[in-house]
Amino acid sequence: MSVSFDNTEIAFRYRSDKALKKAQYMFAFMGSPAATQMGIGLTKLAFKISLPISGIIKKTVFQLFCGGETLAEAAQTAAMLHKYNIGVALDYGVEGKSTEADFDAAVPEFIKAIDYAAAQPNIPFIPIKITGFARFDLLEKIHNKKELDETEQQEWNNVWTRIESICKRAHEKSIRILVDAEESWIQDPIDDLTNAMMARFNQEKAIVFNTFQMYLHTSLPYLKKSLQIAEEQGFILGAKIVRGAYMEKERARANAMGYLSPVQPNKKSTDNDYDVAVKYCIDNIDRIHTFIGTHNEESCYKAIKLMQEKGIAPGDDRVYFSQLYGMSDNISFNLSDAGYNCCKYLPYGPVKDVMPYLMRRAQENTSVAGQTGRELSLINKEVLRRRGQ
């Protein structure tokens, strides 16, 4: 079956006319970098001086990109997506925590989400960020191979215990854990921890997935090395393939500290590595289960073509496509309509705690050339279609 990402009727069928108009307004607003910067600045200030703005945010940008403030609210959004055969990666999106008490408190939230997901027909994935369970500075110290003192070693042991208990429950309930990739200068301990979890829980199928950011020129070789590790240790590699979300930060740090940027020289080289990585995973489908996280239509078309050439059924459980909730519905809904496994990353959590996520989305929608324009033009097209024009 052929797939077209231009079909807006399928793409937006879950949005009422009112919701579509609201999305049109929001994307038009985000299309202006000056307005977005001003919005972000004012929001930060308002939170700092405790102005009651959560309500306004909840009705606007939060509603566009998040499932709700609680698991119960997110559950309603997930159930709505299920009507259209869209799966969910249920993302407890709280960020910016830094104490041992916060990290401990996050574990039961994830266990609750896993238990909930296991009782639902369309929530196969739970994403986690290791910085939600570990101090950033601690990860950086380990990444830099510095010796830990006794307290730090205990902290690191605690991180292992937290992640282990989450992966263990996920394994028992057959829910898959996506370990997000973050800044390159904390990534080594994240990889080591994730590899250890994969070795333990990915015996029959991929329960734990590592993330490969293809804007890093080291990622393609590391993907190949990861398969080698998986083969040596006898587990199935779970590979989530993304381009990478921290490009400006990576480049600015490299520049400020005087080392060579780990990011590819240009978009074309990132795109190339992305598609090569997806091909590598699909070529090794018996040993790698793949999660294609992208809003890039070309990369999705290429992956579909490859699956068709190789006779891989669209619904094969070893390949998933995914986009963030509120973005690229034209890809998600058209893929699932054609029988491909597709799920939305659906963040939830208190408005204040998901603000870093929302700010990244707002910035991404101004800085990623073409994305906002594409979203807006598709929404405009659908508004006109519904008016019969």
Ligand X SMILES: Cc1cc2nc3c(=O)[nH]c(=O)nc-3n(C[C@H](O)[C@H](O)[C@H](O)COP(=O)(O)OP(=O)(O)OC[C@H]3O[C@@H](n4cnc5c(N)ncnc54)[C@H](O)[C@@H]3O)c2cc1C
Decide: is 44 part of the binding site for ligand X (CB under 6 A). no
Q: Cβ of residue 303: shortest distance to ligand X, in angstroms?
A: 12
Q: Least CB distance from residue 101 to ligand X, whole Å?
A: 25
Select 51 or 206, whichever has its Cβ closest to ligand X.
206
Tokens of 232: 């040596």
* Contact between 296 and ligand X per CB under 6 A: yes
Rounded distance between C-alpha atoms, residue 115 and residue 110, angstroms: 9
Q: Is the dihedral of CA 241, 199, 122, 89 positive or negative?
A: negative
User: Which residue number, 96 or 152, has a Cβ lying nearer to ligand X?
Assistant: 96
Q: Is 267 in the site for ligand X (CB under 6 A)?
A: yes
195 is a contact residue toward ligand X (CB under 6 A): no
Of 195, 213, 290, 332, the residue at the interface with ligand X (CB under 6 A) is: 213
Least separation in angstroms between residue 340's CB and ligand X is 14
Nearest-approach distance from CB 247 to ligand X, in angstroms = 5
* 142 and 189 Cβ atoms separated by less than 8 Å: yes
Looking at beta carbons, which pairs linking 137-145 to residues 24 or more positions away fall under 8 Å?
139/186, 139/189, 139/190, 140/185, 140/186, 142/188, 142/189, 143/185, 143/186, 143/187, 143/188, 143/189, 144/185
Residue 293 binds ligand X, judged by CB under 6 A = yes
Residues 306 to 345: which contact ligand X by CB under 6 A? 322-324, 345
Nearer to ligand X, 338 or 368 (CB): 368
User: Does the footprint of ligand X cover residue 181 (CB under 6 A)?
Assistant: yes
**243 is an interface residue for ligand X by CB under 6 A:** yes
Per-residue tokens: 302: 């290429």
Please say which residue, 12 or 345, places its beta carbon nearer to ligand X: 345
**Nearest approach, Cβ of residue 275 and ligand X (Å):** 10
CA distance 46 to 299: 39
Q: Calculate the alpha carbon distances from 260 to 19, 253, 272 in Å.
A: 45, 10, 20
For residue 243, give the nearest of 292, 304, 194, 288 by alpha carbon: 292
219 binds ligand X, rule: CB under 6 A: no
Q: Is the dihedral of CA 257, 258, 259, 261 positive or negative?
A: positive
**Member of 8, 184, 187, 211 binding ligand X (CB under 6 A):** 211
Ranked by CB distance to ligand X, the top (closest) residue is 293
Nearer Cβ to ligand X, position 54 or 261?
A: 261
Longest dimension (CA), the chain: 69
Query: How many angstroms separate the Cα of 101 from the Cα of each of 158, 163, 184?
Result: 11, 15, 26
Q: Does residue 264 interact with ligand X by CB under 6 A? A: yes
Residues with Cβ within 8 Å of residue 121, at least 6 apart in sequence: 82
Regarding 371 and contact with ligand X (CB under 6 A), the answer is: yes
As measured in angstroms, the least distance from the Cβ of 53 to ligand X is 26
**Min separation Cβ 131 and ligand X, Å:** 11
Q: Whose structure tokens read 């994403």?
A: 127
Q: Pick the binder of ligand X from 23, 61, 247, 300 (CB under 6 A).
A: 247
Residue 366 is a binding residue for ligand X (CB under 6 A): no
Closest CB to ligand X among residues 16, 266: 266
The total of other beta-carbon atoms located within 10 Å of residue 185's CB is 17
Contact 13, 84 (CB under 8 A): yes
Give the amino acid at 261: S
Tell me the two tokens of residue 293: 């996280």
Handedness of CA 322, 324, 326, 328 (dihedral sign): negative
CB of 226 within 8 A of CB of 195?
Answer: yes
Neighbours of 284 (CB within 10 A): 18
Q: Is 361 in the site for ligand X (CB under 6 A)?
A: no
Q: Contact between 77 and ligand X (CB under 6 A)?
A: no
Smaller CB distance to ligand X: residue 8 or 371?
371
Shortest distance, position 295 Cβ to ligand X, whole Å:
3
**What is the size of the binding site for ligand X (CB under 6 A)?**
26
Identity of the residue, 148 or 213, whose beta carbon is nearer to ligand X in the bound complex? 213
Which spans of this chain sit near ligand X (rule: CB under 6 A)?
Answer: 180-181, 211, 213, 215, 242-247, 263-264, 266-267, 270, 293-296, 322-324, 345, 368, 371
